[in-house]
């Protein structure tokens, strides 16, 4: 899992889930699913920069 959804207010990366990495050990196939929760931005309530 990769974190880093942009904050809606300051546009800096947050802890929101940006993508999931799916990998299959048998064949070595790797796929990245971007915006797995259908969110493209995170509310500033969850932003570390806005809430210092």
**DSSP codes, 19-37:** EEEEE-TTT--EEEEESTT
Residues 6+ apart with CB under 8 A from 29: 23
Mean pLDDT of the chain: 94
Query: What pLDDT band is residue 52 in, cutting at 50, 70 and 90?
Result: confident
CA dist., res. 39 & res. 22, Å (int): 19
Query: What pLDDT band is residue 48 in, cutting at 50, 70 and 90?
Result: very high
Q: Using CA atoms in the order 2, 39, 43, 22, what is the torsion angle rounded to 10 degrees?
A: -10
């Amino acid at each position: 899992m990769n974190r880093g959804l942009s904050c809606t207010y300051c546009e800096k990366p947050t802890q929101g889930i940006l993508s999931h990495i799916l990998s299959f050990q048998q064949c070595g196939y790797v796929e990245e699913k971007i915006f797995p929760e259908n969110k493209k931005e995170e509310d500033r309530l969850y932003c570390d920069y806005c809430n210092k």
